[in-house]
Amino acid sequence: MSFVIAFDLDPREGARISSLRVDGQELLVTDRRDGAMSWGCYPMVPFAGRLRRGAFRFAGRNYTMPVNLGRHAIHGTGFTRPWDVEPDGTLVLELGAPWPFGGSVRHRVHAVDADTVTATLEVHADQQSMPAQAGWHPWFLRPVSLMFKPGAMYRRDDDGIPDGTLLRPPPRAPWDDCFTEVEQPLELWWHPSPRLRLTSNCDYWVVFDHPNHAICVEPQTGPPDGFNLAPFVVEPGHPLVASFTLEVAPGSSPT
C-alpha cells in the first residue's frame, strides 16, 4: 500500500507548515485558538526553545530579548511574523528588531517525492557575526506511539531550562525535555496508519508529550538556552543550515 503526503504553507503565520496530510488524514494540530505557539509546524529562529530571562552575552556585550513565556523568551522571533515569498516558493525573513544583529532566514519546504517532504532553514549573518540557532516546532496530533531512542537528556532546573548536565540513561516519559545522541529515524505511529519517519541533521531533539491531544517532536541545532549553554556563531557568508525530513512509510500501528 502506498501513501501520498501533502502539505500547506502559511507565510503570513510565521512561515509554518499549516497542514500535513497523508492520503487526506491530517497529522498536525490546525486549531489556532490557543495562539501562534500551539499549532502547525513552525520554524524557530534565530533561537530555539527557551532563552533564560531573555538574556545572553555575546562578544563581550549583554543583550536581552522580549519575554513571551513567563520570565523567559521562547522559540525565536519568526513564528509570529509574516515572511516574504520568493518566486521559487522559498520563504524569507529579514531579522530586524528586536533582534540586534540583523541577518536573514530562508525557509524552503518541498516534496521530494510522493511520500517525503523536506524542510531546510538557513540563518544568514549580514556584516557581523552573531549567535544563531534553528529548528522546527511541529504539533502532531496525538499518535498511538512514538519510537524514540535517545542516548542522553539534559537535566532541567527550577526554571524548566537545561542546566548543562546530561542524564544517562534518560528518565522515562512524560517529557518536556531536550535530548541528544538520538537514534534516527524517529517514528510516529497513528492507528491504523500511517507511520511517519523523522530525520534531521540537528543533534538535539525536544519532546513535549504532556497534552492529551498532541505531541511535539522538535529537531533543533542547539539545546534550549543554547546562547548561554552551547553557543553557535554564524559568520557572514557561512550560514547555519538545518534540515528536517518527514517520510511516510506504510504499516500498521505496533502491537
Cα separation, 43 vs 36, whole angstroms? 12
Smallest Cα–Cα separation from 28: which of 12, 44, 39, 13? 39
Q: What are the beta bridge partners of residue 247?
A: 116, 197
For the chain, the residue count is 255
Q: What are the beta bridge partners of residue 8?
A: 19
Tens digit of each residue's pLDDT, the chain (255 residues): 468 999 999 999 999 999 999 999 999 999 999 999 999 999 999 999 999 999 999 999 999 999 999 999 999 999 999 999 999 999 999 999 999 999 999 999 999 999 999 999 999 999 999 999 999 999 999 999 999 999 999 999 999 999 999 999 999 999 999 999 999 999 999 988 899 999 999 999 999 999 999 999 999 999 999 999 999 999 999 999 999 999 998 764 444
Give me 195's grid cell.
507511520
Distances (CA, A) of 163 to 5, 52, 179, 209, 229: 39, 11, 13, 21, 8
pTM of the predicted model, to two decimals? 0.95
Cα separation, 52 vs 161, whole angstroms? 7
Cα separation, 30 vs 11, whole angstroms? 15
Residue 71, exposed/middle/buried by CB under 10 A (0-12, 13-18, 19+)? exposed
